[in-house]
Amino acid sequence: MIRGIIFDCFGVLYTGSLTLMASMAPDDRRQEIYDINLQKDYGYISYDEYLAKTAEVLGLQSGDIEKILREKHVRNKELVAYIKELRAKGEYKLGMLSNIGERTMQELFGEELHELFDTVVLSYQEGLAKPNPVIFTLMAERIGLRPEECVMIDDLADNCEGAEVAG
């Protein structure tokens, strides 16, 4: 029986920007964008380092990257309203599992994050990232459930498969 619903951030609660950043890179440097993003997700580099490295690949300034990201992160208002309804009913434990960084999370959610979710697990804090099944197991533990009692809402099939492997 499903007792917990876990949401991803980008591509679910907000539009994502990784694909946009990669599409802006020269063909021979596109993989660098994905690699830099992964380093950020795992917490190996800071958000400022992420901005600087991405800007270097794209031939832009860090501030330009920040501006592009802010403009491209559009909230899924209908889904957020639904999460608030679910929270008010209290029938499910709600969580967010994301590769989002602290600064971006604060800019997008602020204090509202804890009004929406019982538990938040962020990749960079754990040194793990989706689709690794271990991070899904960790999320389930933190929310107080077994993995098989949770459903993961994510826009990427690989991440959903990682959750499935976890239980």
116 and 45 share one domain: no
142 and 64 share one domain: no
113 and 79 share one domain: yes
pLDDT digits (tens, 9 = 90+) for 36-62: 998 988 889 998 999 999 999 999 999
pLDDT at 41: 85
Last residue of a domain, one of 72, 96, 118: 72
Last residue of a domain, one of 72, 95, 110: 72
pLDDT at 69: 86
pLDDT at 160: 93
For the chain, the domain total comes to 2
CATH code of the domain covering residue 127: 3.40.50.1000
User: For the CA atoms of 132, 136, 142, 148, what is the dihedral angle to 10 degrees?
Assistant: -150
User: What's the 3-state SS for 63-90?
Assistant: HHHHHHHHHHCCECHHHHHHHHHHHHHC
101 and 41 share one domain: no
Residue-by-residue pLDDT tens, the chain, 167 positions: 999 999 999 999 998 888 889 999 999 999 999 999 989 888 899 989 999 999 999 999 999 998 998 888 889 999 999 999 999 999 999 999 998 888 888 888 988 999 999 999 999 899 898 999 999 999 999 999 999 999 999 998 999 999 999 98
89 and 24 share one domain: no
- Token pair belonging to 2: 């499903």
Range of the domain at 61: 18-72
